[in-house]
């Protein structure tokens, strides 16, 4: 959510930002907010004047009563009652207008960074840089679900009976490899100076509305029936929400946290769910990182954070690239975002395994997260990034370490988490 002062003072900047995101249907929101804001401020002024008048008359009543002029005092009391009735009606209208303004402001996209490429959708995202040499072996690499099933590691049929489409059982050494990657990601980020966190896996609606856009909410979140609780789609939601309504000390910044959680997503939209495979599922596990920092430091942290993910995957012998998200693919709360994509030797192309974003002060404004500095309080910047989300990360490791005999070479950094085992073979 942007600062309403920016919208008042430079509405054309806000409108141009909307046009660059190809959301022209939202242009009307800017004019509506300006008109509602004008009415709201006029009403606030009127209420202030009524309160001043009431205070003045109340003093008169006190003086009249002290002088024994009760009849005159009673007459003045009727004036106070009339003011109170007007004030009550105006305050109700004032609250209504504020809510109308907030509803519209929540739908207006955040101002993007100037470096964001302009494009209509993810097909116009821009490749930044490649890390590691993409290799296609001279033998066939099976579909990832077939690899896992051949190693007795996947049972989607049973998951269909227990839970339906979009769920799975991971078994044996594959399940162990999955958890080894998550544990390694935890230690990897702790060694980068991040504090490890296991957050709540359910959050209230006021936190949901603070951390994500309405479009994301509809496509992602599961609501707990009969309660004001949602299942989280990523631990970022809880970890940012941890600071809701808080004023942190400036010398505590930057705050760096890495969180583990299961993630639950509807996966509503054009992509759909994977019937056989594990690319798009309702439930997965993830190691995430967040940073709260001074606004002027956000781009430095943005660049550090996506580099951590690149370093993580390269340590697993997985070639990756970074892809700059264009304006039309950028979620409304984000200032700038890039995807980290892993090489698929089977498909001979890259696929998304993580995403890094800075949201400026948008989440902090919605949730009331401030820092206390020498010159007063200010909104912090918030950033988030995927360390690894499995099974996506698992698929990348399996394909890039698949051997001609059907075995999986375990990356060296994972040996300690796999009991010293260096490969997975059919049993």
All domains of the chain in start order, with CATH: 4-105 (1.10.287.40), 122-424 (3.30.930.10)
pLDDT at 10 over 90: yes
Residue 60 reports pLDDT greater than 80 = no
**Tell me, what's the pLDDT at 362?**
95
* Residue found by looking up tokens 């679900």 in the block: 145
Q: Is the pLDDT score of 270 beyond 70? A: no
Instruction: Write out pLDDT tens, residues 96-127.
Output: 999 999 999 999 999 999 999 999 999 999 99
- Cβ of 399: how many Cβ atoms within 10 Å? 22
Lowest mean pLDDT among 36-40, 81-85, 128-132, 323-327: 81-85
Counting residues of the chain whose pLDDT is more than 90, the rounded percentage is 78
How would you label 181-203 residue by residue, b for 16+ Cβ within 10 Å and e otherwise? bbebbbebbeebebeebebbbbb
State residue 211's pLDDT score: 92
Helices first, then strands: H and E counts in the chain: 13, 18
Q: Is pLDDT above 80 for 402?
A: yes
pLDDT at position 32 over 90? yes
The DSSP bridge pattern shows strands 336-344 and 320-324 to be antiparallel
Residue 336: predicted pLDDT: 98
Which carries the bigger pLDDT value, residue 156 or residue 53?
A: 156
- Give the H/E segment covering residue 230: strand 230-231
pLDDT number for residue 269: 59
Tokens encoding 420: 């010293």
Select the highest-mean-pLDDT range: 67-81, 97-111, 271-285.
97-111
Q: Which of 369, 371, 339 is nearest to 354 (CA)?
A: 339
Across 177-191, 217-231, 318-332, 366-380, least confident range: 217-231
Check whether 56 has a pLDDT greater than 60.
yes
Question: What pLDDT is recorded for position 63?
Answer: 76
Lookup: tokens for 65: 């009563």
The gap from C-alpha 292 to its chain's centroid, in whole angstroms, comes to 13
Distance, in Å, from the CA atom of 259 to the CA atom of 199, rounded to the nearest integer, reads: 7
Helices 172-190, 392-400: inter-axial angle, 10-degree rounding? 110
Q: What is the pLDDT at residue 329? A: 95
Q: What is the radius of gyration, based on Cα positions, of the chain?
A: 27
Query: Is the separation of the CB atoms in 319 and 345 below 8 Å?
Result: no
Q: Where are the beta strands (DSSP E) in 97-224?
A: 126-131, 154-155, 169-170, 195-197, 202-203, 222-223
Q: How confident is the model at residue 272, as a pLDDT?
A: 59
**pLDDT level of residue 86 (50, 70, 90 thresholds):** confident
Q: What is the pTM of this model?
A: 0.89
Structure tokens at 409: 């070479």
Interval 363-397: pLDDT, tens: 999 999 999 998 899 999 999 999 999 899 999 99
- Tell me which DSSP letter residue 335 carries: S
DSSP state of 326: P
> Mean pLDDT, to the nearest integer, of 138-149?
95
């Amino acid at each position: 959510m942007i600062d309403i002062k920016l919208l008042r003072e430079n509405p054309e900047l806000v409108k141009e930002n909307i046009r660059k995101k190809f959301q022209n249907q939202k242009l009307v929101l800017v004019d509506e907010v300006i008109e509602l804001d004008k009415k709201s401020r006029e009403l606030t002024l009127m209420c202030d004047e009524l309160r001043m008048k009431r205070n003045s008359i109340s003093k008169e009543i006190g003086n009249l009563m002290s002088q024994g002029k009760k009849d005159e005092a009673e007459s003045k009391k009727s004036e106070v009652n009339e003011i109170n009735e007007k004030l009550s009606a105006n305050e109700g209208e004032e609250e209504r207008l504020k809510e109308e303004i907030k509803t519209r402001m929540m739908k207006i996209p955040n101002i993007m960074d100037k470096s964001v490429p302009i494009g209509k959708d993810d097909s116009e995202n821009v490749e930044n840089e490649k890390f590691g040499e993409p290799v296609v072996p001279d033998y066939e690499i099976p579909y990832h679900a077939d690899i896992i099933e051949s190693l007795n590691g996947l049972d989607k049929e049973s998951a269909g009976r227990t839970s339906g489409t979009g769920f799975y059982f991971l078994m044996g050494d594959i399940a162990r490899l999955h958890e080894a990657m998550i544990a390694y990601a935890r230690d990897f980020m702790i060694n980068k100076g991040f504090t490890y966190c296991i957050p709540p896996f359910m959050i209230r609606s006021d936190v949901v509305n603070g951390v994500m856009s309405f479009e994301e909410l509809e496509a992602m979140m599961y609501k707990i029936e009969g309660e004001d609780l949602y299942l989280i789609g990523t631990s970022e939601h809880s970890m940012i929400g941890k600071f809701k309504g808080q004023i942190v000390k400036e010398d505590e910044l930057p705050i760096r946290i890495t969180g583990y959680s299961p993630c639950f997503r509807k996966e509503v939209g054009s992509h759909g769910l994977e019937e056989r495979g594990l690319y798009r599922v309702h439930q997965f596990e993830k190691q995430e990182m967040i940073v709260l920092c001074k606004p002027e430091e956000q781009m430095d942290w943005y660049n550090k954070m996506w580099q951590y993910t690149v370093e993580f995957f390269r340590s697993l012998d997985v070639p990756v690239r970074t892809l700059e998200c264009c304006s039309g693919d950028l979620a409304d709360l984000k200032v700038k975002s890039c995807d980290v994509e892993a090489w698929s030797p089977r498909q001979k192309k890259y696929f998304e395994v993580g995403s890094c974003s800075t949201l400026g002060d948008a989440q902090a404004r919605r949730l009331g997260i401030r820092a206390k500095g020498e010159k007063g309080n200010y909104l912090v910047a918030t950033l988030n990034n995927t360390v690894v989300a499995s099974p996506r990360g698992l698929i990348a490791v399996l394909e890039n370490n698949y051997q001609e005999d059907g075995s999986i070479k375990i990356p060296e950094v994972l040996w300690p988490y796999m009991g010293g085992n260096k490969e997975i073979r059919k049993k």
